[in-house]
Chains A and B, each alone.
Chain A
Amino acid sequence: MGKLSRVFLWTFISLAGALALGMIALHRGEEINALWLVVAAVCCYALGYRFYSKFIAAKVLGLDPLRATPAERLDNGRDFVPSNKWVVFGHHFAAIAGPGPLVGPVLAAQFGYLPGTLWILAGAIFGGCVQDFVILLFSVRRDGKSLTEMAKSEIGRVGGFVAYTAVIAIIVILLGVAALIVVNALKASPWGTFTIAMTIPIALFMGLYLRALRPGKVLETSILGFILVMLAVVGGQWVSVTPSWARLFTFSAPALAVMIIVYGFAASALPVWLLLAPRDYLSTFVKLGTIAVLALGIVALRPTLHMPPLTRFIDGTGPVFAGSIFPFAFITIACGAISGFHALIASGTTPKLISREPEIRTVGYGAMLAESMVAIMATIAACVLQPGVYFAINSPAGIVGQLPAAATATISGWGFPVTAADMQSLAQAVGEQTLFNRTGGAPAFALGMAHIFARTLGGQTLMALWYHFAIMFEALFILTVLDAGTRVGRFMLQDALGHIWKPLGRTSWYPSILATSALIVGAWGYFLWQGVKDPLGGINSLWPLFGIANQLLATVALCVATTIIIKMGRARYVVVTLAPLCWLVAATFTASYQKVLSLNPRIGFLANARQLASSPASSANARLIFNDRLDAAVTAILVGMVALILIESGLEWSRILSGRKPAGVKEAPFIQTRLFSQSGVSQ
């Protein structure tokens, strides 16, 4: 393509993006088509990748095509393997795509579609993609070191300790919230519960098939498992309309919570490879397939967004979670915009697979753009619902009332008309007893997805199947995160406890396995139980806590990145990581301050505890008061630790910039690559 053609192409993309952004930002009073969001996102991502990431690669990081990566130097065919960049891209995307980009945007849709969309676009291009890109490169240049190791070696011991603690905290809170989302999606839903229960025998069958009949044929086995799961989704309809079977699979929220806690413990403590690994494959297969199909569905069907660009809840009085746009939109949507957790993946498996440095741009920056697109799709799925229906599903009974008539009257009073009859017929259409008070985001996402797909195959008659397919997809996905996360947390805890008493660090010593599994499961199980028993639905307090923990981890990652950039002698470009760092510090510290000290009981943990203390004493009240104080303490400890790492980083930057300390980087020594493209070393 000639230079002039390229100029025309990028001018056209810029104009199309500006037009689409203008449409979604300035259009008022009429509903808009979801395709505007897709066009805006694709154009912004293309511009961000083409220009911003290229600038970072060339000027800030100085990607070196001649430098051998650890995958080449330490190639052992197992952990370190030089790989095709698109293979690494797919592998990295599959690892970073979790339930977060699906749930966060759905919850943030209470502000309207505009705040979430703008944050997803800007946050990803200037924050999340940059974080993943730079951390991946820095890990590659340090032989695949983890974020916690880099924090320790580049910032100091406090940095390492804070990063380690933040990772454990985020895992525990994430698992508690993720389990709560599953509980809220499956409570009183025999269809959904049956489908998820069936994934256990299906996974066991897959495990046996893989081991005994077709060793190593995972793709073939996953396709077989997927067909069986689809049969289970269809069979769930029969279960839900057959009273004797429906009774067997109808559970209350506390009962489901207990089951999930027991499952989490078993997954961590027992040698259940036959169940977990095949379920993991099945979950990944369903996840990638569903994301691809949803993207195709949105582009092909071009649904209309019924949610307004901004709702009245930008003032902080929202029923889904309390708090105003700043800072709460920015901690509610983490994974689609910027997520500290990604820094763990970017400094985990991925750096050991990169063949050549220039490919890091595609993998680090590019995969995060794809993840951000998933968040845009989730926003669309939530906003195609009528706002009244969206709020009826996502509002806790403690806010809108227990009875359908009371809930619909409250929601209609907010200016989002909905009737109890509408909700009843919608629940019947998707094969549920009720859709009221299904907080957590998963049911709203599933309904939005069903709403989009019901316009194609089978129309309204297949609405129930689409809804339960989406619920199965999310629950399966989250349960996989849950069992894998519990095991990761258990290993981390064993590593830490091994420093205190050696046998505790032995991963094959059963007493240690049982004790550490119980500690991890007990910790997230407590948060889950707290959410289940919370009259405000749990999401109001737990999702912001998770968002704060995740964004604080991103703060740690950006501190590490900024420190290394300064040590590389590129301080004049430090704004690339310093700007998102400052934004995250502002958002997370403000959110933490408000969650702990706000006088509004719906926002502040301590204010809520005080309000509960002034009401008649009861054991339930005492437990809620304790929970509020615990949440406040956890938030304060996390913020305190990150403040420490900020101070330590600031001191290190000051020492280097003032010349009191030499600006040396701790990279693996340069070795020239032996991997060449056919036309020589090229970008």
Chain B
Amino acid sequence: MSEHPQLRHSETSEKSPRTALLQRPTRGPLYRLLHTLIAILREIFDEAAYTRYLARHHCPSSRAAYAAFVRESDIASSRRPRCC
């Protein structure tokens, strides 16, 4: 999940690698809109969750990593209700 572009941890020395990775330089409004739209789609389609998984386990993307991610997220997503 990408962080809010305007959010910063108050103690900058404790920034996690994930936080640092996901911070973006400030650009124009169109860029920010596009960036936010892509971030929304990446979250909805679990790409952001996979990125977090890779960061958490300090491993590069691979078939094995993705299979492990799917196994981990399968139970949680199966319990998630879908609306009518």
Contact with A along B50-62 (1 / 0, CB 8 A): 1111011000011
A216-B2 Cα distance, complex, nearest whole Å: 16
Residues of A within 8 A of B51 (CB): 216
Question: How would you classify the secondary structure of chain A's contact residues: helix, strand, loop or mixed?
Answer: helix
8 Å CB contact of B45 from A219, A341, A355: A219
Are A339 and B83 touching (Cβ within 8 A)?
yes
Are B84 and A98 touching (Cβ within 8 A)?
yes
Check B30 for interface membership: any CB of A closer than 8 A. Answer: no
Stretch of A182-190, A484-492, A587-595 lying at the B interface = A484-492
Are A84 and B5 touching (Cβ within 8 A)?
yes
Residues of B within 8 A of A78 (CB): 49, 52-53, 56, 72
Are B69 and A216 touching (Cβ within 8 A)?
yes
Chain B: which residue is nearest A335 at the CB level? B84
Are B61 and A491 touching (Cβ within 8 A)?
no
Known A-B contacts A82-B7, A174-B84, A339-B83; the reply to A215 vs B66 at CB < 8 A is yes
Residues of B within 8 A of A546 (CB): 84
Residues of B within 8 A of A285 (CB): 45
A284-B83 Cα distance, complex, nearest whole Å: 12
8 Å CB contact of B65 from A86, A215, A222: A215
Q: Name the interface residues of A509-529: CB closer than 8 Å to any CB of B.
A: none
- Central interface residue in B46, B47, B62, B84, by most chain A CB within 10 Å: B84
Contact with A along B1-33 (1 / 0, CB 8 A): 111111111110000001000000000000000
Are A284 and B44 touching (Cβ within 8 A)?
yes
Residues of B within 8 A of A13 (CB): none
A97-B83 Cα distance, complex, nearest whole Å: 6
Residues of B within 8 A of A85 (CB): 4
Residues of A within 8 A of B69 (CB): 216
Residues of B within 8 A of A341 (CB): 81, 83-84
Residues of A within 8 A of B79 (CB): 487-488, 491
8 Å CB contact of A210 from B62, B66, B72, B80: B66
Check A100 for interface membership: any CB of B closer than 8 A. Answer: yes
Q: How far is the CB of A80 from chain B (nearest CB, A)?
A: 10
Are A87 and B7 touching (Cβ within 8 A)?
no
Residues of B within 8 A of A94 (CB): 44
Are B83 and A82 touching (Cβ within 8 A)?
no
Check A342 for interface membership: any CB of B closer than 8 A. Answer: yes
Residues of A within 8 A of B46 (CB): 218, 281
Are B81 and A344 touching (Cβ within 8 A)?
yes
Are A507 and B75 touching (Cβ within 8 A)?
yes
Check A675 for interface membership: any CB of B closer than 8 A. Answer: yes
Are A215 and B63 touching (Cβ within 8 A)?
yes
Chain A: which residue is nearest B14 at the CB level? A674
Residues of B within 8 A of A83 (CB): 1-4, 43
Are A96 and B83 touching (Cβ within 8 A)?
yes
Known A-B contacts A98-B82, A100-B83, A488-B81; the reply to A211 vs B66 at CB < 8 A is yes
Question: How would you classify the secondary structure of chain B's contact residues: helix, strand, loop or mixed?
Answer: helix
A84-B50 Cα distance, complex, nearest whole Å: 17
Check A217 for interface membership: any CB of B closer than 8 A. Answer: yes
Are B7 and A675 touching (Cβ within 8 A)?
yes
B interface bracket (residues with beta carbon within 8 Å of A): 35 or more
Are B8 and A480 touching (Cβ within 8 A)?
no
Check A618 for interface membership: any CB of B closer than 8 A. Answer: no
Are A82 and B1 touching (Cβ within 8 A)?
yes
Are A678 and B4 touching (Cβ within 8 A)?
no
Chain B: which residue is nearest A482 at the CB level? B82
Are A79 and B76 touching (Cβ within 8 A)?
yes
Check A77 for interface membership: any CB of B closer than 8 A. Answer: yes
Residues of A within 8 A of B43 (CB): 83, 87, 90-91
Are A212 and B47 touching (Cβ within 8 A)?
no
A215-B45 Cα distance, complex, nearest whole Å: 13
Are B7 and A339 touching (Cβ within 8 A)?
no
8 Å CB contact of A77 from B2, B9, B42, B52: B52
Are B1 and A98 touching (Cβ within 8 A)?
no
Residues of B within 8 A of A384 (CB): none
Residues of B within 8 A of A89 (CB): 40
Residues of B within 8 A of A99 (CB): 84
- Central interface residue in A100, A334, A485, A487, by most chain B CB within 10 Å: A487
8 Å CB contact of B9 from A335, A348, A485, A674: A674
A218-B42 Cα distance, complex, nearest whole Å: 8
Are B1 and A81 touching (Cβ within 8 A)?
yes
A538-B49 Cα distance, complex, nearest whole Å: 41
Q: How far is the CB of B62 from chain A (nearest CB, A)?
A: 6
Known A-B contacts A83-B2, A674-B10; the reply to A216 vs B66 at CB < 8 A is yes
Q: How far is the CB of A210 from chain B (nearest CB, A)?
A: 7
Q: How far is the CB of A342 from chain B (nearest CB, A)?
A: 6
Residues of B within 8 A of A178 (CB): 84
Check A550 for interface membership: any CB of B closer than 8 A. Answer: yes
Are B82 and A484 touching (Cβ within 8 A)?
yes
Are A480 and B84 touching (Cβ within 8 A)?
no
Check A583 for interface membership: any CB of B closer than 8 A. Answer: no
Check A556 for interface membership: any CB of B closer than 8 A. Answer: no
Residues of B within 8 A of A310 (CB): none
A sample of 17 more A-B contacts (CB under 8 A), given A77-B55, A284-B45, A676-B7, is A77-B18, A77-B53, A78-B49, A85-B4, A86-B40, A98-B83, A211-B63, A216-B51, A218-B45, A335-B84, A341-B83, A344-B83, A481-B82, A484-B80, A484-B82, A675-B7, A676-B8
Pick the 10 closest A-B CB pairs, nearest first.
Answer: A90-B40, A215-B66, A81-B1, A100-B84, A83-B1, A218-B45, A98-B83, A216-B50, A84-B4, A484-B82
Can you name 14 A-B pairs with beta carbons within 8 Å? A78-B72, A84-B5, A87-B43, A90-B44, A98-B84, A217-B47, A277-B70, A349-B80, A480-B82, A485-B82, A488-B80, A488-B82, A676-B10, A677-B6
A residues bordering B, Cβ < 8 Å? 77-79, 81-87, 89-91, 94-100, 167, 170-171, 174, 178, 210-212, 215-219, 222, 273, 277, 281, 284-285, 288, 334-335, 339, 341-342, 344-345, 348-349, 353, 355-356, 480-481, 484-485, 487-488, 491, 507, 546, 550, 674-678
